[in-house]
Amino acid sequence: MPALAATGPRPPRTARKTGRPWSRWSRARGSGGDGEGRLAAIDGLRLLAAIAVAAYHFVGTPTRDFWGKGSEHALPAVAPTLHPVSGYGWLGVEAFFLISGFVICMSCWDRSPAQFAVSRISRLFPVYWAVVLIIVAAGVAATLAGQRWGAPTDLRTTLGNLTMIPSALGVPFTAGVAWTLWVEARFYLLMGGLLLIGLTYRRVIAFGFLWLTLAALGRELDSAVLDAVLLGEYAGLFVAGIAVYLMYRYGPNLVLWLLLGFAWCYALTVLNDRVVAHPGTSWAVSAAVLTGCLGLLLLAGPGPLRRLRWRPLVCAGALTYPFYLVHQSLGVPVTRGILENVPGVGLLASIAVGLTLCMLLAAALERFVDRKLGRVFRRRLTAALHADERRCESRELSATGREPGASGERSRADLVGAGASGSGRP
């Protein structure tokens, strides 16, 4: 899941002057300059979601003999309390989608479709490409060394994965958790379509209600096409996040509470499909945990936690996306290698070492790929999208022999000079 810059816009000046009965949360938002900082609490939520998913894959997995045969490798025996709790860690994915609704709506606001596309591509692809290539290289090395490796490493599968949509091309995911990126990508396309029309408060509200209605219709008709395009299983989570962002930007009101309520009823109803796919979990517990995540998002967005400015949370939030990508496809094989080659370490200690190595790798990816390569990628993409404008300027320069716009600048300078000398007319 993408580590997004959760920076908040200031509320519209007209809204602050109307004298509307804002809630306590909204009044707190109006104090000078606070809205321009990064929402560290959102980073904290994303970190919790990533930890939950990692806990599920390493400690909560229901797969029998996942770490090997014998009681020393049996999770229910080694971690009798942590294992059943971590069994609900898959809800971290749902939490990611909920947070994504908030942050992507924030990223869209006051941006053109091209700017939004550049921000998403430069944010997601460099780290993703690096992780895919690292997994393939590690898999080839492990195979040559006679070790087993779960992720596919053949050339065709690797090429399909570099597109970030391998399932649509009929090949498996190299990074197992990357299926969520395909879900996110379709959400981005829907938001990009809304950007083409024009993003306004009322249009986003109408978009939310319409999206949920059409998604429900697709489920009723059992339409695979509508379900794939409208993300019927996750639409409620994305729309709920959008509603919370609108509360953050404009203040809570009845319409937004209705949109949030409609989205949440939808999300919890269809959540049962995911519960059924995870044996040993309860819908009631899952719904309660996910509702708790929504409550935390309300506190972190329009609520009092929006003022939190704790630097470690921001740093941890930046590591979330690379850690999420590497923890399963690299962390699990490393942990298994430790268990097979150094059995005296023990299961929980081996898991701790595997996760620590994944966090160190995530830090390296964030520093050298996301921060440096991503910045260059963003700059080059922006320049490429304005190549036509530069070409027109180059033609103007060659035709006039002066810098583009120079004549206009000279005319304005002449007018200023004439006014200063007293010979010009107003």
Per-residue pLDDT at 7 exceeds 60: no
What's the pTM value of the predicted model, to 2 decimals?
Answer: 0.84
pLDDT for 402 equals: 55
In degrees, to the nearest 5, what angle opens at C-alpha 112 toward C-alphas 372 and 380?
Answer: 30
- What would the pLDDT profile of 302-347 be if each residue is shown by its tens digit? 999 999 888 889 998 899 999 999 999 999 999 999 998 898 899 9
**Alpha helix positions (H), 65-200:** 75-78, 82-86, 91-108, 113-144, 155-162, 179-197
Per-residue pLDDT at 426 exceeds 70: no
pLDDT for 394 equals: 63
Mean pLDDT throughout 1-9?
47
Mean pLDDT throughout 251-265?
98
Instruction: Give the list of residues 6+ apart from residue 323 with CB closer than 8 angstroms, or none.
Output: 50, 54, 358, 359, 362
The residue ranking higher by pLDDT, 155 or 11, is 155
- What would the pLDDT profile of 33-53 be if each residue is shown by its tens digit? 333 457 999 999 999 999 999
- The C-alpha atoms of residue 202 and residue 200 are separated, in whole angstroms, by 6
| Cβ proximity of 26 and 11 under 8 Å | yes
pLDDT for 116 equals: 95
pLDDT for 309 equals: 86
pLDDT for 217 equals: 96
Per-residue pLDDT at 8 exceeds 80: no
- What would the pLDDT profile of 18-27 be if each residue is shown by its tens digit? 334 334 443 3
Mean pLDDT throughout 368-375?
92
- Secondary structure (3-state) at 417: helix
- State both tokens at 273: 């499909």
- Secondary structure (3-state) at 38: strand
| Cβ proximity of 239 and 194 under 8 Å | no
| Cβ proximity of 54 and 355 under 8 Å | yes
Provide the 10 A C-beta neighbour count for residue 421. 8
The DSSP-derived string for 262-287 is HHHHHHHHHHHHHHHTSTT--HHHHH
pLDDT for 389 equals: 64
pLDDT for 411 equals: 38
- State both tokens at 24: 């306590």
- What would the pLDDT profile of 46-104 be if each residue is shown by its tens digit? 999 999 999 999 999 999 999 999 889 999 999 999 999 999 999 999 999 999 999 99
Mean pLDDT throughout 186-198?
95
Task: Give the confidence band of 1 by pLDDT, cuts at 50, 70, 90.
Answer: low
